[in-house]
Structure 1
């Protein structure tokens, strides 16, 4: 046992047979969750590339390249705006019906929608009905994605033993970045293989491949069991009729802390992950192929480190790890841009990768278990889905636009670096504020994690109450 100064202990003793069995169950749940996240972001990454290169001409019947591109990106944004509604609807079902069936449903909704996009006729065949159907399928894709990641981390965290909860919950985040890189890679590969036929039928193949990924994911998920936490909550009749009502009525501060903590992932991360591509090609003069390769390196580097940071959070405390990531996010934007401005490829990669790994990957890994421990079991799925997807709808799609506008007005990167600092600072304050609801001393307590009644009290209040009872007994 490791004893902390605040009286908490973190168990480092060898695993028991029960815990080994729980680890096996956790590996199944984490694998299924990671594959689902991979499919989700394969779909989203693929759509983003196709919107920029194909959809502007194929679906909108305009000779004006700017109008077509804006229309294509508008359908891209539709998916993000739909995600909070998907989070509310499927998050509610996840807290009422169960984690597993909802995750199967959201995964199927995304995979089928993406596959059908690959079968859509263009404007030249059915006129304005083509973009209408594209928007409908994009909405369905966004609705499913809105609860997929929340369900993935809830299923992984609730299936894991307390001292490895962060490790297993982090697998879903790794799946997100692998899926994004895979979508871009498959799209580029088909572009090279089909040549002039890419704009007629080659672009469809990556979308149609989504059905194969869906089949594999569903096969893996069929072996996953419903979590004991949800089962116990339901058997104890502790589930909420409408979880969002309780969130807004009695858990507003908890929800606000969760929303704020996600700003570094829904806003800050889209600078090194998305917007930086345009800066590298338009302002630094790097070839588009090299810029995309750098982007793939960045994404895969983050995915590689995610399980390590998740495990580190289990050992040192994920709130502490989250605070470190947000703090690093405050200090690194200026050095990153200075390294990029050297025009040296190695230093450019170093600057962006260090930003993505040291700030984004650290926070992403810490957040997975952090958010599941923030909310009581009866409203956990709804709370995580709403917090993540609302901030994502507000910032994920708009941050690249804001960065582009700031660079145009100022003619320099310093306002963008300042914007990143503000995003990271908001997340840092929110994570620091979360100490009123949980501390790292609470993360190894299995009873509190699985008890809705205990989780509605703040960590400090619960310990104060326990201390008072102990004194009364003495």
Structure 2
């Protein structure tokens, strides 16, 4: 069957649509995190003890993370069965509407216990939609790109993640400044309602994206799996193990500088909250700007090689990073965290986008990517900051946290190293390798390339 090679115009359109969806996804999640810390504990969770209300608000925040694997399984399955495009449109609408409805919820004072219940329900819907959004974004981008530029275009979604996170926190701070004393009554609702505008723009962009050739070929050749994830668990456990292990770097490791460091700076080093937020924003922006560069570098030197470099850099930098942070110098803190975020996290994030899509055959790709990312993310994404806080409290030092980061990176190092049994940088441009009974065993040519 003859097919038309993806064009750069098609790739740009798909990657832009994917990046905007990732931006909306993480705008929504960042927005909820900020609201949980500042507003939800008093507006939705009635308690005479402020700490109890805050814990309840953050528990609802965690619910979104635990819902993500279920969304990944369900929508990943549908993405492999009915197509990438329709599923991505549905998950985007689900996230956008759920976020906007949070901005319209009555408070506890208005409807009592129904308020926190409705908030948790909407948070679950957010998590279900987000559970397949990023997996679909990188799958659509990678499959829509010319093979020689797959890493570059797939990396756009990762940049969208960090821009969305920065916008979520920034919009909340802006509304706090603009509405002043009215923020606790109605000002906090505005950023949630803005999600409708972002949803409309995203849908406008996504409607022009066509279904990928990889899925169309699978449909035409009748190779679509009836139960993609079941098939992976039965015949491709090694691929799933590699994918799960690779994500330890981007959940257990990366959530320390990306999330927990903000708490460490303010609570342990007495850095002003505004300064700490500025440091975090700088880190996110630098990471987003570097993503396309590393994606393109992966096209040139190989994703696996780039991934391994980023992991090794993280292992080496974990302890020096904390040594620089503990000096208390704002300049050195920014330098330490930015080097970690760009040299280790952004490098691995950019490499992983195309790496994961090349790891799984097209008929099971959406399910495999979504399952691997969301299961490990649910287990470690929400618990890494909690574990780091407990370790510092117990040891009265940062060294257990640095050790945690090294352990997470070492797990990913082993997983990515073992990926040579399923894919190599030599064959990363070859989509036909899945058509020659290679779902389990690499070819002789691939084995030879790996050993060189």
- Aligned 8 A contact 1:163 1:444 in 2: yes
CA–CA distance in 1 between the matches of 2:283 and 2:106? 35
Provide the secondary structure at the position in 2 that maps to 1:178: helix
Match of 1:59? 44
Work out which of the residue numbers 415, 423, 426 in structure 1 matches 2:400.
415
5 Å matches for 1:262-281? Answer: 262-281=247-266
Matched, 1:156 2:141: yes
**Which blocks of at least 5 consecutive residues in structure 1 are unaligned?**
1-17, 467-474
Could you tell me the TM-score, scaled by structure 2's length? 0.97
- Aligned 8 A contact 1:110 1:141 in 2: yes
CA–CA distance in 1 between the matches of 2:121 and 2:435? 38
Match of 2:377? 392
- Aligned 8 A contact 1:86 1:142 in 2: yes
Deviation at 1:455, TM superposition (A): 4.7
Q: Deviations over 1:110-152 (max 9, x none)?
A: 0000000000000000000000000100000000000000000
Matched, 1:190 2:175: yes
Work out which of the residue numbers 152, 175, 195 in structure 2 matches 1:167.
152
CA–CA distance in 2 between the matches of 1:368 and 1:452? 22
Deviation at 1:162, TM superposition (A): 0.6
Work out which of the residue numbers 36, 54, 71 in structure 1 matches 2:56.
71
Provide the secondary structure at the position in 1 that maps to 2:426: helix
Could you tell me the TM-score, scaled by structure 1's length? 0.92
Match of 1:441? 426
Match of 2:240? 255
CA 1:47–1:298 in 2, change beyond 3 Å: closer, same or farther? same
Deviation at 1:316, TM superposition (A): 0.4
Deviation at 1:62, TM superposition (A): 1.1
5 Å matches for 1:75-474? Answer: 75-448=60-433, 451-461=434-444, 463=446
Deviation at 1:388, TM superposition (A): 0.1
CA–CA distance in 2 between the matches of 1:40 and 1:370? 22
CA–CA distance in 1 between the matches of 2:386 and 2:78? 34
The root-mean-square deviation of aligned C-alpha atoms, in Å, is 1.3
- Aligned 8 A contact 1:376 1:455 in 2: no
CA–CA distance in 1 between the matches of 2:71 and 2:271? 38
- Aligned 8 A contact 1:233 1:452 in 2: no
Q: Deviations over 1:60-101 (max 9, x none)?
A: 111211110110000000000000000000000000000000
- Aligned 8 A contact 2:236 2:440 in 1: no
Deviation at 1:459, TM superposition (A): 2.9
Deviation at 1:341, TM superposition (A): 1.1
- Aligned 8 A contact 2:224 2:363 in 1: yes
Deviation at 1:454, TM superposition (A): 4.8
CA–CA distance in 1 between the matches of 2:327 and 2:33? 29
- Aligned 8 A contact 1:95 1:239 in 2: yes
CA–CA distance in 2 between the matches of 1:166 and 1:356? 19
